[in-house]
């Protein structure tokens, strides 16, 4: 049985206006809306899941869009950048597309031998499109405007900004099985060989950086992937043995989760592959209906009336 951390499962962020968020990620970036549901703790707020055709772990970016939410501020104790893998020779396409749609972006640059293009979403969440030097055979979701030769394949990496990296690095290496691959100035790249994609965490050590504020345009948490419930609970034991506080297993309908805050301040989740996103919709119908946690089904009419209209 594979009992290792299998890279990134999903990343969850906070947005402002729901319709704007939906339009940006489905139309401008060309991701598939894999699941449209609501926040478990706030059923009058959407929970969007964007990803590839079937919602493969390592491709899933999720959002809580809270209307009127104040803007966050990037800083230490945060995931400050999300990296997506894109095909070779696709960055010029994205430059033109960002220019056409008034997306804030920076010039193409390079780090660790890979070209990347930085951009911001409408709430200021920071991304990089990266042409990976490793082979990435994942099949992306394609749209009428974005073909497979340009489309986002899934996550490449995340970047965590920290004032002191030692304790966070210990979690990555001693608990999650990552290894330090290389460093450049204050950026340190950790990787797991348990999987070939969505397997990189960069720690950016910035001693003087002020603590960020998590709000609109911020990452709320990052989830690391495991095969199933058995492996999940194995990692719960490892986190407890390391002296960290961690939740009991939580059923999120499409996966099972544990949550803990690593010593550097970032909220980590460990999430299972099972049961997946096709348990309440077929693959062809993913994202087409509003799916509610069972406890809110009796309030569907009221919830539907209060949620923003997306199209």
Expressed as residue numbers, the domain containing 177 is 8-306
Mean pLDDT along residues 195-204: 97
2 inside domain: no
In tens, the pLDDT along 287-296 reads 999 999 999 9
Query: Residue 185: left (phi > 0), alpha (psi -120 to 50), or beta?
Result: left
Residue 284 lies in a domain: yes
Q: Is 94 among the domain residues?
A: yes
Say yes or no to pLDDT of 102 above 80. yes
Percent of the chain with pLDDT over 70: 100
- Phi-psi category of residue 179: left, alpha or beta, with phi > 0 → left and psi -120 to 50 → alpha: beta
Within a domain: residue 176?
yes
Output the pLDDT for position 134: 87
Residue 119 confidence (pLDDT) above 80: yes
Q: How does the average pLDDT of the chain come out, rounded?
A: 97
Torsion of CA 31, 35, 40, 44, to 10 degrees: 80
Write phi, then psi, for 158 (nearest 5 degrees).
-125, 155
Q: How many CB atoms lie within 10 A of CB 113?
A: 8
Query: Is 242 within a domain?
Result: yes
Is there a cis peptide before residue 275, judged by omega within 30 degrees of 0?
A: yes
Please report whether residue 1 resides in a domain.
no
List pLDDT tens digits, range 140-158: 999 999 999 999 999 999 9
> Of all residues in the chain, what percent carry a pLDDT higher than 90?
98
276 belongs to a structural domain: yes
Whether residue 19 is contained in a domain is answered as: yes
Q: Residues 6 or more apart from 125 whose CB is under 8 A from it?
A: 13, 15, 82, 217, 218, 219
Give yes or no for residue 138 having a pLDDT over 60. yes
Q: Find the CATH number of the domain harbouring 39.
A: 3.10.180.10
pLDDT tens-digit map of 173-191: 999 999 999 999 999 999 9
Q: How many domains is the chain built from?
A: 1
């Amino acid at each position: 049985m594979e009992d290792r951390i299998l890279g990134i499962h999903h990343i969850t962020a906070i947005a402002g206006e729901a319709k704007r968020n939906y339009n940006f990620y489905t139309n401008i970036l060309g991701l598939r809306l894999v699941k449209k549901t609501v926040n478990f703790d706030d059923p009058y707020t959407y929970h969007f899941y964007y990803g590839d055709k079937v919602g493969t772990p390592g491709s899933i970016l999720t959002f809580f869009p809270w209307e009127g939410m104040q803007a966050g501020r990037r800083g230490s104790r945060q995931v400050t950048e999300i990296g997506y893998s894109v095909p070779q020779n696709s960055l010029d396409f994205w430059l033109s597309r960002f220019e056409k749609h008034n997306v804030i972006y920076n010039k193409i640059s390079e780090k660790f031998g890979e070209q990347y293009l930085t951009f911001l979403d409408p709430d200021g969440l920071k991304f990089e499109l990266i042409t990976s030097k490793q082979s990435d055979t994942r099949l992306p979701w394609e749209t009428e405007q974005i073909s497979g030769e340009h489309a986002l394949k899934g996550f490449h990496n995340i970047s965590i900004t920290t004032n002191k990296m030692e304790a966070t690095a210990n979690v990555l290496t001693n608990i999650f099985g990552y290894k330090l691959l290389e460093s450049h100035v204050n950026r340190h790249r950790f990787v797991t060989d348990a999987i070939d994609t969505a397997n990189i965490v960069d720690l950016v050590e910035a001693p003087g950086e002020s603590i960020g504020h998590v709000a609109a345009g911020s990452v709320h948490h990052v989830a690391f992937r495991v095969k199933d419930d058995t492996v999940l609970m194995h990692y719960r034991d490892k986190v407890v043995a390391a002296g960290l506080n961690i939740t009991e297993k939580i059923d999120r309908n499409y996966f099972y989760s544990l949550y803990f805050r690593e010593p550097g301040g970032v909220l980590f989740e460990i999430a299972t592959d099972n049961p997946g996103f096709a348990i309440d919709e077929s693959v062809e119908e993913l994202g087409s209906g509003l799916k509610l946690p069972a406890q809110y089904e009796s309030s569907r009419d009221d919830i539907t009336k209060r949620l923003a209209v997306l199209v």
